Amino acid sequence: MHGVSGVLTDCEERQHRTHGGVRFAAMALPEPVLRAIREELGPVASPIRVSARGGLYDGFSAERALDALEQAVASAPRMRSLDTRLFACRGGTRNCAVWRLPPLDIIEVERVGDHNQAPGTWRAVRSFLEAVGRTDPFDVVFADEAGVDLRFLSSVPPIRARAIDGQLLDAMAGGQTHWVDSYTFMLDEARRGGLTPDPGADGRGGGLVATFIQSGRLRFWWD
């Protein structure tokens, strides 16, 4: 985990915690970031303080889960310009913001994948997404223990989408059963969205997940 130690200049350092020997400093959000979030979220933004497993960050209450996700998606470009991750969390009941924390580290902060799985499953999720992000950068718009919703920052070529699909299929074929629910979830999402299978994708998956990834999303779910 990269954390944010060494870059705390315009914010108040609140608390420290350690993951794998790396110091993570949680903090309050700088005023320009707070102002931007209030402008983005409008009247539903009532600042609260939430605790995330020992780390503190600012959360903003949302009326409904769908609202939280839509606001996170719509606000992502502006938040990236402020080096801030704004994402729906806590089952979609909150919009949470973290300043100067790489998107990949949200997987660790929220323990993505641990719900209904063996403790520490988040490490496998983070490792998989680290490989994905090397070629296809993404932002996180939803994250909690039960799932993560990613938006790619640029279009995903068919060859890359097929590769990601194939990696998931290989992992499941190799006995990594914690991916099964997520793969099935993306299949269902693709069908609901009226997507058509990619004929060039790995035949084991039928091509729908590859098409779903080409649409700019990657969604894992354990519930």
DSSP for 60-74, written as a single string:
EE-SSHHHHHHHHHH
Prediction pTM value: 0.81
10 Å CB burial of residue 6 (0-12, 13-18, 19+) is exposed
E strands along 84-156, which residues?
84-89, 94-99, 138-144, 147-152
Return the half-sphere exposure (C-beta side, CA atoms, 13 A cut-off) of residue 50: 17
111 vs 47, higher pLDDT: 111
Residues near 178 by beta carbon (within 8 Å), at least 6 away in sequence:
113, 117, 118, 121, 124, 222
pLDDT in tens, 195-222: 999 999 999 999 999 999 999 999 999 9
Distance between CA atoms of 17 and 160, rounded to whole angstroms? 36
pLDDT in tens, 166-178: 999 999 999 999 9
Residues near 91 by beta carbon (within 8 Å), at least 6 away in sequence:
65, 144, 146
Give whole-number Cα distances, 124 to 114, 117, 127, 192, in Å.
10, 11, 5, 28
